[in-house]
């Protein structure tokens, strides 16, 4: 196979890549002075994407920028809250509620997203979530008071819940197994780019008046509407959802667009139909699905431990505290100027984005668990270092100079988000979308989002109050302890799913082979899986 050259323009961050006369174009956020890193990413992209068909990649390309722009709200709020405090004169408690409610209210979107996606399809559920978010963003931009601002924030949270729940499911169901990890973790890349975009816009508009600056910052969230309207008429529906709806010709047409050959199409159709028939032949009612999730078999219990557990640990190790309250952290470290605080947050967003770009090209080559080990151990070290730096700055100023304390804090925060982006960030998306069988996937993914959003809300809505009680440095010692527990969790509860089809992963959990030291499954085991699932339903 002869590959044409990969050309990289670091100034415009545009990478035209040619693979067997097939042009695949990837747009990456502009990163100055990082030519070597981006060159690595671009050339690695050719190796990983050379077996993909255009439409599989196009579907992800259209879908993921929506998440990037939606997630800009996270980065924006971290800086906008500085000016909201001054303009609307809100209290510390109101600040916690405003920041943290997004995570909690997004539970409503996540819980209803599973049922909605099964009823109207994956892609139209994503569109509905985007419309709800746009409405909330517009209300926040023109809010005259804290009450109206909260109404917009609540609507935005529901929209984000819809999008976060179904996006990874959609990508996993439309992606080839060989690159599912790469494509499923693309949402995490776009989320990081969105956060960076929010940080940059904060810094760019920080010179405006207090009354105008935060409104312009929040107004960035209105941008996706035109793009989403076009994208929904271009991207295909999930072939697995189409099969569940008995729309076999449409499912075959989609698979022809994203597969390498007709033989591969027929093989994937057979696998999907066999898995879907488990649900259709026994009980396809939503109540039966929730009954199985709430009263799980040993196999489903393992799936829930892995999928929901990784979502919970992703949040309670403090990533939202680092992202939302980075200005507070840096102020505690000794930075005084608002503009300098926002400039430091840009460095955090830049670091987070660079490392997720690296992780995206390693996840299907190295595997899920090795990256999770690097991520959780590295986060533990950085969180402990951050707690130490802030504690010394507050209680032992004579031991370190003010500039050293600031440098240590910035380095530790950047290190924490870097290690998060290598593993916990993207792999959470991947595992939650690939370990559950088709009959449970939408609802189980929603259930996993519940754990993650509850954890995020608890962290976001209690950080300032807890920091006042035990200090900001003390909070990061707590996060370091939780991160240590997450290392143990990964070792005992998270299986390696690299290179397996979604149906093989289901069989692996059914037989418990990963926990017995094996982990390799054959497609011939499918009959055993069907019998086991029928037994589970009959017992339910």
Edge-first strand order for the sheet with 14-19 is: 3-6, 14-19, 22-27
Fold of domain 54-235+283-499: Growth Hormone; Chain: A; (1.20.1250)
Tens digits of residue pLDDT in 375-431: 999 999 999 999 999 998 887 666 777 788 889 999 999 999 999 999 998 888 788
Task: Quote the percentage of the chain above a pLDDT of 90.
Answer: 19
**Helical segments of 283-367, H only:** 286-294, 298-316, 319-324, 326-333, 338-360, 363-366
Q: Which range among 10-24, 27-41, 88-102, 249-263 shows the weakest confidence by mean pLDDT?
A: 10-24
Between 59 and 242, residue with greater pLDDT:
242
pLDDT of residue 69: 58
Between 182 and 362, residue with greater pLDDT:
362
Residue 58 has pLDDT above 60, yes or no: no
Q: What's the half-sphere exposure (Cβ side, CA atoms, 13 Å) at 183?
A: 31
Tens digits of residue pLDDT in 452-493: 878 888 898 899 999 989 999 999 999 999 999 999 999 988
Rounded mean pLDDT, 149-162? 87
**SS3 (DSSP) at 5:** strand
Q: Which range among 276-280, 363-367, 369-373 shows the weakest confidence by mean pLDDT?
A: 276-280
How many helices (H) does the chain have, and how many strands (E)? 25, 3
pLDDT of residue 18: 32
Residues whose CB is less than 8 angstroms from the CB of residue 517 and which lie 6 or more positions away in sequence, other chains included: none
What is the pLDDT confidence band of residue 271, given thresholds at 50, 70 and 90? Answer: confident
Residue 19 has pLDDT above 60, yes or no: no
pLDDT of residue 416: 96
Rounded mean pLDDT, 348-364? 85
Domain ranges of the chain: 3-49, 54-235+283-499, 501-540
Integer CA distances (angstroms), 356 to 257, 425, 427, in order: 28, 8, 11
Tens digits of residue pLDDT in 108-148: 777 777 778 888 888 888 888 888 888 888 999 999 999 99
Please state, in angstroms and rounded to a whole number, the distance separating the CA atoms of residues 37 and 119: 43
Residue 4 has pLDDT above 90, yes or no: no
Residue pair 382/374 in contact by the 8 Å Cβ criterion: no
Q: Which range among 188-192, 493-497, 498-502, 534-538 shows the weakest confidence by mean pLDDT?
A: 534-538
Residue 496 has pLDDT above 90, yes or no: no
Task: Kindly write down the DSSP assignment for every residue of 66-85, as one continuous string.
Answer: HHHHHHHHHHHHHHHHHHHH
Please state, in angstroms and rounded to a whole number, the distance separating the CA atoms of residues 25 and 12: 13
The model carries a pTM of 0.69
Residue 29 has pLDDT above 50, yes or no: no
175 φ, ψ (degrees, to nearest 5)? -100, 145
User: 3-state SS string over 418-451?
Assistant: HHHHHCHHHHHHHHHHHCCCCCCHHHHHHHHHHH
Residue 537 has pLDDT above 60, yes or no: no
Residue reference for tokens 């006042």: 468
Rounded mean pLDDT, 324-349? 89
- With CA atoms as reference, report the closest residue to 45 among 60, 63, 33, 32: 60
What is the pLDDT confidence band of residue 65, given thresholds at 50, 70 and 90? Answer: low
């Amino acid at each position: 196979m002869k590959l044409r050259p990969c050309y990289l323009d670091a100034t415009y961050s545009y990478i035209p890549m040619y693979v067997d006369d097939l042009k695949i174009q990837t747009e990456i956020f502009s990163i100055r002075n990082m030519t070597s890193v981006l060159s690595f990413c671009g050339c690695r992209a050719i190796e990983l994407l050379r077996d993909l068909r255009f439409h599989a990649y196009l579907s992800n390309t259209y879908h993921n920028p929506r998440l990037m722009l939606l997630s800009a709200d996270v980065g924006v709020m971290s800086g906008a809250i500085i000016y909201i405090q001054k303009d609307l004169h809100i209290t510390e408690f109101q600040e916690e509620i405003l920041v943290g409610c997004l995570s909690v209210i997004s539970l409503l979107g996540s819980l209803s997203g599973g049922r909605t996606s099964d009823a109207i399809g994956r892609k139209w559920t994503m569109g509905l979530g985007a419309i709800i978010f746009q409405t909330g963003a517009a209300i926040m931009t023109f809010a005259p008071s804290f009450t109206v601002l909260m109404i917009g924030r609540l609507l935005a949270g529901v929209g984000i819940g819809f999008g976060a729940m179904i996006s990874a499911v959609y990508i996993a169901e439309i992606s080839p197994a060989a690159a599912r990890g790469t494509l499923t973790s693309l949402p995490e890349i776009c989320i990081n780019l969105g956060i960076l975009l929010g940080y940059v816009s904060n810094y760019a508009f920080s010179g405006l008046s207090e009354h105008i600056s935060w409104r312009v910052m929040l107004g960035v969230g209105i941008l996706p509407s035109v793009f989403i309207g076009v994208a929904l008429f271009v991207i295909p529906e999930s072939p697995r959802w189409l099969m569940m709806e008995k729309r076999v010709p449409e499912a075959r047409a989609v698979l022809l667009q994203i597969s390498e050959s007709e033989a591969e199409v027929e093989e994937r159709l057979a696998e999907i139909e066999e898995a879907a028939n488990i649900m259709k032949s026994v009980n396809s009612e939503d109540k039966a699905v929730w009954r199985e999730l709430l009263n799980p078999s040993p196999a489903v219990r393992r799936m829930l431990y892995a999928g929901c557990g990784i979502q919970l640990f992703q949040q309670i190790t403090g990533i939202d505290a680092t992202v939302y309250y980075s200005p507070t952290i840096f102020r505690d470290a000794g930075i005084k100027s608002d503009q300098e605080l926002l400039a430091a947050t840009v460095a955090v967003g830049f670091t987070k984005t660079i490392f997720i770009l690296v992780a995206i090209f390693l996840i299907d080559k190295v595997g899920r668990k090795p990256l999770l080990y690097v991520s959780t151990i590295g986060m533990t070290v950085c969180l402990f270092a951050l707690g130490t730096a802030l504690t010394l700055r507050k209680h032992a100023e004579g031991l370190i100079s003010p500039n050293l304390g600031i440098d240590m804090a910035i380095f530790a925060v950047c290190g924490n988000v870097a290690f998060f982006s290598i593993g916990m960030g993207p792999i959470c998306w991947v595992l939650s979308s690939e370990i559950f069988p088709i009959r449970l996937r939408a609802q189980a993914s929603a259930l996993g989002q519940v754990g993650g959003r509850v954890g995020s809300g608890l962290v976001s809505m209690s950080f300032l109050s807890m920091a006042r009680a035990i200090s900001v440095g003390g909070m990061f010692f707590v996060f370091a302890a939780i991160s240590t527990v997450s290392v143990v969790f990964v070792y005992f509860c998270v299986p390696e799913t690299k290179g397996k089809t979604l149906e093989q992963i289901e069989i692996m959990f059914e037989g418990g082979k990963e926990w017995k030291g094996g982990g390799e499954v054959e497609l011939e085991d499918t009959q055993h899986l069907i019998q086991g699932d029928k037994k589970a339903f009959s017992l339910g």
